[in-house]
Structure 1
Amino acid sequence: MADSGLSDTERHKCLFCRIAHNQEPSSRLLYEKDGIVIFKDIRPAAAHHYLVVPQEHIKDPKHLGPKDIDLVNKLVAVGEEFLTQGGGDIADSRLGFHWPPFNSISHLHLHVISPASSMGFMASLIFRPNSLWFVTADWLLNRLKNMKRI
C-alpha cells in the first residue's frame, strides 16, 4: 500500500484519520472492517452518499501506484456492497474520487452516491465523471494498471 509517511502528530491533524479511528465524536462510523471505514458525507449529493475510507493515511489518489490496485478494488467492493445492503441502486450510482488539487480533504476517500439521477445541478458538476476534478473508480484502476506497464 501507499506509504503515508505521517507522524502520529500529523495523523492526528487529519480529520479523516481521526474519524477512521473513532477519535472524532461528531462522526459516526457506519461500517468498520479490515482497515476500511464508511461514514456519511456531510454534504450529501443524494439520499445515499457515503465515503469509503482506508484507515491508513494515504494522501489522495495521485499517491497510489500499481501496488494499490487491490486497495482500490476493495474500496469499490465494500462501497457497492454497503450501498446495496442499504437500499441504494448500483445501476444508478456514481463511485469516484476527487482529483487533486480539487479535493478538500487530503485523505484518500471513495464517494459512493445513489441515486445519481437525483443529484442537483451543482452536485452533478462537482461529481461529473472523469472531469478534471472527479474521476471514476474505473478510470483510476485503468490508470494504475497502465502504470504497471511502464
Structure 2
Amino acid sequence: MDCIFCKIINKEIPSEFIYEDDKVVVFKDLNPQAPVHLLIVPKEHIESNEYINESNSDIVGHVFAVANKVAKESGLENGYRIVNNCKEDGGQSVNHIHFHLIGGRQMLWPPG
C-alpha cells in the first residue's frame, strides 16, 4: 500500500507526533490554515468516511475524545473546528480517513 499516512504511522516517513496512542496519531498539517492545524489520523487504514461501519465506527468517537484533549493542550479555550473531507469532491487529498483540528483564530462560515 502506498499511503503516505500509513507510512507516517509506521515511522517510514519522519513526523513529530503531538499525540499517539494505540488507535490514532496526531501531527501538524504541512499546509496550516490557522495557528493550530493538526491532523488526527486513525492507525487503521480506512479509506474515507464512506467506509465507516458498525465494526469500526468506535474510532470516530475516539478521534473526538482525542481532539478535545489535544485542543485543551494546544490552548484552544475559545473554540476550534474539526473537519473531515470525504472523497475527491469533498476535498479529501489523502485516501486515509483523517480529521483536521483547526483553531487559534476566528473561524468563518461558510468555509472556502
TM-score (norm 2): 0.86
SS in structure 1 opposite 2:97?
A: coil
Q: CA deviation at 1:66?
A: 3.3
What secondary structure is seen at the aligned counterpart in 2 of 1:51? strand
The structure richer in helix per residue is: 1
Count of residue pairs the alignment pairs up:
110
2:87 aligns to what?
100
Deviation at 1:118? Answer: 5.4
Name 1:138's counterpart in structure 2: none
Contact (CA 8 Å) 2:71, 2:80: kept in 1 or not? no
Structure number with the bigger relative contact order (C-alpha 8 A, sep ≥ 6) is 2
Runs of 5+ consecutive residues of structure 2 not aligned to the other structure: none
Residues 1:15 and 2:4 are matched in the alignment: yes
- Asked whether the 8 Å contact 2:23–2:59 carries over to 1, the reply is no
> Which contiguous aligned blocks of 4+ residues in structure 1 show a shift greater than 4 angstroms?
none
Aligned counterparts, 1:1-150, within 5 A: 10=1, 13-25=2-14, 27-89=15-77, 91-101=78-88, 102-115=91-104, 117=106, 124-125=111-112
Q: CA deviation at 1:56?
A: 1.2
Calculate the aligned-residue CA RMSD, in Å.
2.0
Per-residue CA shift, 1:39-82, capped at 9, x if unaligned?
00111111111101111111011111233332101001101111
Residues 84 and 37 of structure 1: is their aligned pair in 2 closer, same or farther, counting only changes over 3 Å?
same
Identity of matched residues, %: 30
Deviations 1:100-131 (CA, angstroms, capped at 9, x unpaired): 12211000101111135157x9xx31xxxxxx
Aligned equivalents of 2:3 and 2:99: distance in 1? 16
Q: What SS is found at the alignment partner of 2:59?
A: helix
